[in-house]
Amino acid sequence: EPEVTQTPSHQVTQMGQEVILRCVPISNHLYFYWYRQILGQKVEFLVSFYNNEISEKSEIFDDQFSVERPDGSNFTLKIRSTKLEDSAMYFCASMGLAGLETQYFGPGTRLLVL
């Protein structure tokens, strides 16, 4: 069964450093998402991406965040200058042609900012 993959599984970084989280969505999917979950809190929507542009973003997704799909397969989330409060589990998800299908989640990247 096709699956969403994410790398790395864990990332430790110093405050102020840039991080790039990578996701490979399911190959024929067209809608892509990033979510995060801070330890002990609920899953939060960050951004949705369709047709090579952001379709929706939350208040969390400020100027420090960016997404791109550089090569038609990878979908990346970049945090330019990490803050302590960026420590969280980051999940990528993808969805097929119709907007009403279920999303398939990747296994997540645990980011720890020191």
Partner 1 sequence: ILNVEQSPQSLHVQEGDSTNFTCSFPSSNFYALHWYRWETAKSPEALFVMTLNGDEKKKGRISATLNTKEGYSYLYIKGSQPEDSATYLCALTNRDDKIIFGKGTRLHILP
Q: Is residue 101 a contact residue for partner 1 (CB under 8 A)? A: yes
* 53/71 with CB nearer partner 1: 53
Cα separation, 94 vs 102, whole angstroms:
9
Cα separation, 72 vs 91, whole angstroms:
19
Q: Identify each DSSP E strand in the chain by its residue range.
A: 5-7, 10-13, 19-24, 31-37, 44-50, 53-57, 65-68, 75-79, 88-95, 104-105, 109-113
Q: Is residue 68 a contact residue for partner 1 (CB under 8 A)? A: no
Q: Is residue 58 a contact residue for partner 1 (CB under 8 A)? A: yes
The nearest distance, CB 47 to partner 1, in angstroms, is: 10
What are the two backbone dihedrals, phi and then psi, of residue 54, each rounded to the nearest 5 degrees? -70, 130
Of 19-27, 62-70, 77-85, 98-106, the segment contacting partner 1 by CB under 8 A is 98-106
Q: Which of 2, 18, 56, 97 binds partner 1 (CB under 8 A)?
A: 56
Task: Yes or no: say if 108 and 90 are a contact pair by the CB < 8 Å rule.
Answer: yes
Q: Which of residues 20-39 bind partner 1 (CB under 8 A)?
A: 33, 35
Q: Name the residues that contact partner 1, by CB under 8 A.
A: 4, 33, 35, 42-45, 48, 55-56, 58, 91, 99-108
